[in-house]
Structure 1
Amino acid sequence: MKKTTLDTIISTVVGSSIFLPLYAQAQDVASSSAQATDVMLVTAIKRTDPVTNLVTPIVEITKQDILASQANTLAEVLRQLPGVQLSSNGGYNQPSRIYVRGSSDVVILFNGVRLGSATLGYSDISQLPLAGIEKIEYLRGSRAAVYGADASAGVINIMTRGNNQETTGSVQATGGSNGYQSYTASTFMVPSDKAWLNITAQYQHSDGYNVATFGDDDRDGLENNNFVADWGVQLDPNWLIRMNGYYHQGQTEYDYNPAWGASADQNKTDNYSMNGQVIYTTERFVSNLTLGNSQDKSKTQHNVPSSQTVTQRQQVTWRNNYQFTKVNSVGFGAEYINDDVGDSDTIYDVKERDNKAAYLTLGHDGEVVQLEGSVRFDDNEQFGDKTTWQLGTGWQFVEALRLTANVGTGFKAPTFNQLYYPGFANPNLQPEESTNYEVALEGEHIFLNWRFAGFYNDVDNRISCQSAFSTCTNNNLIIQGVEWVGSFNTGLLSHQVSLEYLDPEDKDTGKDAIRIARDNFKWQVGYQADSWQANISYLYQGKRYDSGDVRLDGYSLVNLAASYKLTRQWVLSARIDNLLDADYETAATYVQPERSYYGSIAYQF
């Protein structure tokens, strides 16, 4: 009998979730093609897959997991995942960046459509709303051969709610330390048996605290307005039309170093992503045409004339999967992305570029052997043609054990800032090229489910920037390491543990890559009985270097969360972050929040 090792690990790493069969991009369409015990995922190789045949590890975070954690931000959810490290210039809404297995080459998707800034080169996760999110899929390992640039380390796909055939809603109010306030209202309407509309609105405010050790000693507060919507209509058993998106408007205060001279100390953001999808599904075939439009807009102001940076992104994606036998499938598709920074105040020598791509995937889901492969061809307007590929295999050599192996290549083009920003540009930068290897052993036992992996990532022409105001250069980097992920139960308590050791060495200097800790340990314990639910999480990250020879100390975080269901509709919740009041930084001179308290009340209908 085929074992479901990955399925078990997925469900236990982030908490006790109940999975139902669904297409992540076309829910409740042609469900007869899946067994009721399978999780249907699309992130791994842009096809609809049960997790049992995935070779690369993938984690599903459900809405129930998010509610149990009582997280206020996406960063708080992601930081507990295996392989994830974060760097942030302070607390809520301050610029934040995610690393997976020591690499920042991580693609963030919203309902399958790429997010991010063409000037920064990554998606600032502090600006992505958590409210209204139904599920997050997190894949660690190379997927550049399917998702292109920036997917050499992993993929994070944030998804909104589809049709559940039931009208529901909720309102929630949260208050906490540093004057934090959050008010959220959500409604899911089913006007007919073939259509739905899901709307979530949220307001956030915080007086903040002094996030930097330099500059003014005033509080650095925030104010956010978030809106998430999802609409769909089932035209017939095969055709589905769906539209979804989010809008984020925020203002964040921050500090600047007087040594820099006059500088702004406020940042206004105006971001959105809108997607339209036409999906055709039969028992063996799925086709999805997606049109996407997104904006990443940041405007700095106060003390000096305002300055704005804007990325307008147009994206067209066509992806298909055909299961031609019970265990074999083929996927194929094409993608077009256009990035335009012409509305920015900064004068860039080049203001627009596009990327065209086509890909092909093959999969075999045998009882004993699983195989997957993909190849992608990119035509980048600025840097020319590039072909990337990925191969993976799994071998169920005994009932409780499986051996897997993966190898994949990737590339990453320099950003507009890195190439053209006045005073800091390096127009001679070359694209990064990487080769990523992984070997893993998975075990499923009565008392313990686990996965042990070793990985090696060889990056040539890595684009290295010591700070936001320094000229970037190309160097060479090797990131190698091992990780162990496991889950087990002790009575009413569920445990999820991950350990990771990294060696992120710059081959040119012999130094560690900046802001990457070698030692990482995470432990989550959950309890649920009757009307009570409680969670405790522990996170340790070791010492790491920042720019130059600045060394950041290691730190430990303990967070507590508990909730009590007063009635079927009313829920009370409380949370303590940084219980031990650790003093720590994830970016030099930017202080993270001290011990913080939060409470909330929610009504569900």
Structure 2
Amino acid sequence: HPTPNAEQEDRDFNVNLKWQKQEEDRDINLMIWHDTNRRYYDNPGEWKHTGPSTHKTYTMGLSFDYTKYDLSFNDEGTESGHILTWGAEIKHNRLDSSEVGYRQDLNGAAFIQDSWQPAELENLKVTAGVRYDYNQIFGGQLNPRVGFTYRLQDELSFHASMGRAYRAPTYDDLYWPEDGYVGGNPALLPETAWAHEAGLRFINDKGDTQAELNVFQNNVSQLINWAPDSEGVWRPSNIGSAQINGVEVLLKKEFNQHFRGNLNYTYLDAKDLDTNNQLKPNHKWGLGLSYTDQIGDDQDNFTAGLNGYIVAGRPDGLENYYIVDANITRDFTLGNENDQKIKLSFSIKNLFDQRPELVSGYPIQGRTFMLGISTNF
């Protein structure tokens, strides 16, 4: 395990450029991003110490989506409204590690979705779509999804959906540096799942109170799960067959024009169907409170918030824990003819510097400070 002299330093740098065009009957979005993560780790007190480890990952991506509103098709003399969305993305991942060397791959996806409002059934909305994911290492996967929403009353609606989900292993899953206590698994396979969900949603007439109750079941093949192996080393492996059943409750409330709050709870029963072992924590509570206002002659937006969650009923004897995050954002109007605005954001992750073990012997990242800036051209 890490000795008292062990040191870890993480650095993240993220840049996003987004172009958006909004018209009465269509939206177009184009985004380019670049993420860099550098993890430095040194444990000079460990047995057979060979020096520090440096693990750097880079991701560059491009995404595009196009939404067309109010598409109509004449069905036996009636007009039915459609909202059609399609798009694609491409990502290049690169790894440079003192432990596992150099890796790279190129991945992509394309999707199309139609949201249909039948003219003769004004309380019903049907959504259907399909997404194709391609991974250079693992190949391609076609993932369909269909769902509907039915308004039972003015303030109450019922929704249900089902679809297939796909997740390829990340570079951390595959190539996490091996130190005798934790390590990646290059032999991992992608996980796939059939997800089913149904629920009720309440929104009052004023729109300032919202409540949801959802139930869901995910049947997962090759679930990627971090747990101790036969030698006690924490590493990910594929669970051949797993089932995740759950219930989610969500409450949102606008107390006045400045203060908003939310409360949520999720119960999970995640089991390995072959061994009946618990795979994920049973309980998660979340709480959030935010304050918004407009400041100065230019009425620039200001937001401050606190968000926290509690995780309990963890597997493998791990202790329960709580985390609280804080964030502030402020718009500033530049003195040009277009009244261009910039947005500054500052956040503190893990405000109280809690250090619960994410896996045995390895605490979660401590208090972290993040500063961001964005603007629209």
TM-score (norm 1): 0.45
2:322 is aligned to: 556
- Counterparts in 2 of 1:286 and 1:404: CA distance versus 1, 3 Å: closer
Q: Give the direction of change, closer, same or farther, for the CA distance of 1:296–1:404 in structure 2 (3 Å limit).
A: same
Question: 1:369 aligned to 124, 146, 160, which one?
Answer: 124
Gap change, CA 1:369 and 1:260, over 3 Å in 2? farther
1:541 aligns with 2:334: no
Distance 1:398 1:314 in 2: 44
Equivalences for residues 106-185 of structure 1 within 5 A: none
Alignment match of 1:462 (pick from 210, 215, 223): 223
State whether residues 107 and 134 of structure 2, in contact with CA within 8 Å, keep that contact through their aligned partners in structure 1. Answer: no
| Residue 79 of structure 2: aligned partner | none
Alignment map for 1:254-273 (pairs within 5 Å): 254-255=41-42, 258-259=46-47, 262=50, 264-273=52-61
Which is worse superposed, 379-388 or 221-230?
379-388
Q: CA deviation at 1:311?
A: 2.5
Instruction: Go from structure 1 to structure 2 and tell me whether the alpha carbon gap of 1:365 and 1:389 turns closer, same or farther (over 3 Å shift).
Output: farther
> Which residue matches 2:298?
none
What is the CA deviation profile of residues 113-156 of structure 1, one whole-angstrom value per residue up to 9, with x for unaligned ones?
xxxxxxxxxxxxxxxxxxxxxxxxxxxxxxxxxxxxxxxxxxxx
Equivalent residue, structure 2, for 1:442 = 201
* Residue 286 of structure 2 is aligned to residue 522 of structure 1: yes
Task: Give the C-alpha shift of residue 591 in structure 1.
Answer: 2.4
Offset at residue 409 of structure 1 (A): 3.4
2:94 aligned partner: 297
Report the equivalent of 2:101: 308
Q: Distance in 1 between matches of 2:135 and 2:36?
A: 31
Q: Aligned in 2, Cα 1:451/1:312: closer, same or farther, shift over 3 Å?
A: same
Alpha-carbon spacing, 1:602–1:250, altered in 2? closer, same or farther (3 Å): closer
Contact kept? 2:264, 2:286, Cα under 8 Å: yes
SS at match of 1:586: strand
Match of 1:510 in 2: 276
CA drift at 1:383? 8.5
Instruction: Tell me, in whole angstroms, the C-alpha distance in 2 between the residues paired with 1:576 and 1:376.
Output: 35
> Which digits, 9 at most, give the CA deviation of each residue in 1:414-437, with x for residues without a partner?
78987xxxx99797x876553322
1:561 and 1:575 in contact (8 A); partners too: yes
The answer to whether the Cα contact below 8 Å between 1:365 and 1:371 also exists between their aligned partners in 2 is no
Conserved? CA contact 2:132–2:142, under 8 Å? yes
| Residue 307 (structure 1) shift | 3.9
Match 1:498 to one of 257, 261, 264: 264
1:454-505 Cα offsets, whole Å, 9 max, x none, are: 1111224435553687583543211111111111133442111111111112
**How far apart in 2 are the matches of 1:378 and 1:576?**
34
**Aligned counterpart, 1:485:** 250
State the distance in 2 between where 1:229 and 1:313 align. 20
Query: Could you tell me whether the CA contact under 8 Å between 2:239 and 2:272 is conserved in 1?
Result: no
Deviation at 1:214, TM superposition (A): 0.6
Higher relative contact order (CA 8 A, sep 6+): 1
- Is contact 2:324–2:351 with CA below 8 Å preserved after alignment? yes
Contact 2:156 2:203 in 1 (8 A): yes
Alpha-carbon distance in structure 2 between the residues aligned to 1:458 and 1:578: 32
Moved more, 466-475 or 450-459: 466-475
Matching residue's letter, 1:214: P
Q: Distance in 2 between the 1:222 and 1:240 partners?
A: 37
Does structure 2 retain, via aligned residues, the 8 Å contact 1:295–1:310? no
Q: Structure 1 506/278 Cα, relative in aligned 2: closer, same or farther at 3 Å?
A: closer
Shift of 1:581: 4.7
- Amino acid paired to 1:254: Y
Residue in structure 2 matched with residue 390 of structure 1 by the alignment: 145
1:247 partner letter: H
The alignment partner of 1:552 has SS state of: coil
CA contact (8 A) 1:464 1:475 kept: no
Alpha-carbon distance between aligned partners in 1 of 2:346 and 2:87, rounded to the nearest angstrom: 43
Q: CA deviation at 1:228?
A: 3.3
Please tell me whether the aligned partners of residues 239 and 278 of structure 1 are also in contact (alpha carbons under 8 angstroms). no
> What TM-score do the two structures reach when normalised by structure 2?
0.67
SS at match of 1:502: strand
Structure 2 residue 353 is the aligned partner of structure 1 residue 591: no
1:262 maps to amino acid: T
What is the number of equivalent residue pairs in this alignment? 340
> What's the offset of the Cα at 1:530?
5.0
Amino acid at match of 2:241: N
Kindly state the Cα deviation for residue 541 of structure 1 after the two structures are TM-superposed.
1.2
List alignment gaps of at least 5 residues for structure 1: 1-212, 329-363
Is the contact between residue 222 and residue 250 of structure 1 (CA under 8 Å) also seen in structure 2?
A: yes
What are the equivalent positions in structure 2 for 1:401-412 lying under 5 Å apart? Answer: 401-410=156-165
Q: What CA distance in whole angstroms lies between the structure 2 residues aligned with 1:601 and 1:383? A: 36
TM-superposed CA distance for 1:521, in Å, is 1.0
* 2:155 equivalent in structure 1: 400
Q: What's the secondary structure of 1:479's corresponding residue?
A: strand
What SS does the aligned partner of 1:517 have?
A: coil
Change in CA separation of 1:411 and 1:580 when aligned onto 2, cut-off 3 Å: closer
CA distance in 1, matches of 2:294, 2:27: 39
Distance in 2 between the 1:498 and 1:444 partners?
16
Question: Offset at 1:406?
Answer: 1.9
Q: What do you get for the CA RMSD once the two structures are aligned?
A: 5.1
Relative to total residues, which structure has the larger helix share, 1 or 2?
A: 1
Shift of 1:263: 6.3
CA distance in 2, matches of 1:409, 1:598: 35
Residue 290 of structure 1 deviates from its aligned partner by: 4.8
Alignment of 1:205-220 (within 5 A): 214-215=2-3, 217-220=5-8
Report whether the alignment pairs 1:248 with 2:35: yes
Distance change >3 Å, CA 426–CA 365, structure 1 → 2: farther
Would the alpha carbon gap of residues 553 and 408 (structure 1) be closer, same or farther in structure 2, given more than 3 Å must change? Answer: same
